């Protein structure tokens, strides 16, 4: 057994990657993956702790006396739960090009 005549079989690194290579492959930064994993539920809590699909407030119009209309509240709402997608999805406003079809 000399330096060049080793009886140890050398494995192809492409067929059997080492533990470090597998760890490097799996350790992808979250910024590099443009996937959406969760979404907020359709029910929301407001500031008072009330639960509903949508919240509205009455607004009195000063130009037209006696006119009242409803305005939807979109601020200070918390989703009830975050639902997990069964499969990861791409965001609709992702600026990355996935496939170039030239």
Task: State pLDDT tens for residues 12-55.
Answer: 555 555 555 554 444 445 556 678 889 999 999 999 999 999 99
Torsion angle (degrees, nearest 10) of CA 86, 88, 94, 97: -130
Residue range 80-92, pLDDT digits in tens: 999 999 998 888 7
Query: 61-80, pLDDT tens digit by residue?
Result: 887 777 889 999 999 999 99
pLDDT value for 27? 47
| pTM, to two decimals | 0.50
Q: Which residues pair with 59 in a beta bridge?
A: 69
- So where are the chain's domains? 35-89
């Amino acid at each position: 057994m000399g330096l060049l005549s080793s009886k140890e079989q050398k494995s192809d690194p492409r067929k059997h990657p080492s533990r470090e290579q597998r760890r490097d492959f799996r350790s992808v930064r979250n910024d590099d993956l443009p996937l959406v994993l969760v979404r907020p539920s359709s029910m929301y809590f407001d500031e008072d702790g009330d639960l509903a699909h949508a919240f509205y407030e009455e607004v009195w119009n000063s130009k037209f006396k006696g006119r009242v209309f409803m305005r939807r509240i979109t601020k200070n709402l918390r989703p009830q739960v975050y639902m997990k997608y069964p499969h990861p999805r791409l965001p609709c406003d992702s600026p990355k090009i996935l496939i170039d079809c030239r």
